[in-house]
Structure 1
Amino acid sequence: MTARGAIVLLLLGLGIGIIGNLFKIQHWPNTGAILISASSIQAVAVFILALKVSRYPGFKDFLDR
């Protein structure tokens, strides 16, 4: 997966999280499942982005400065 795909996945998780929070405010059912899925999607996206950043060739040069 590319970094662009991971960013899209992160934004999707954020959107689902906003919808889940709106459900929570309205006391609608299945809010917990929506929020858990949003958090899981965000965690996967952050993990993928961390892998992409750590494997980028210029990352070690940046840390050595």
Structure 2
Amino acid sequence: MKEAIAVSTVDFTGALWRKSSRSGNGNNGACVEVAHTGPVVGVRDSKNAEAGTLAFPESAWAAFLVFSS
């Protein structure tokens, strides 16, 4: 892995969260939310945002998107 990010230093306060395009009406609109903050992408559960956030380097998130499409 080329990048290392100290997760404790990532601040998602004020981040613009957006829901997955796949969180349709079949599951009451509950799915995952994603926010981009600098070199980090945050992912959280839209129905329980206070439970925590996963943080990924942008390069890892880009690779995930390529393999998941």
With normalisation by structure 2, the TM-score equals: 0.25
Q: Which has the higher strand share?
A: 2
**Relative contact order, higher structure (CA 8 A, sep 6+):** 1
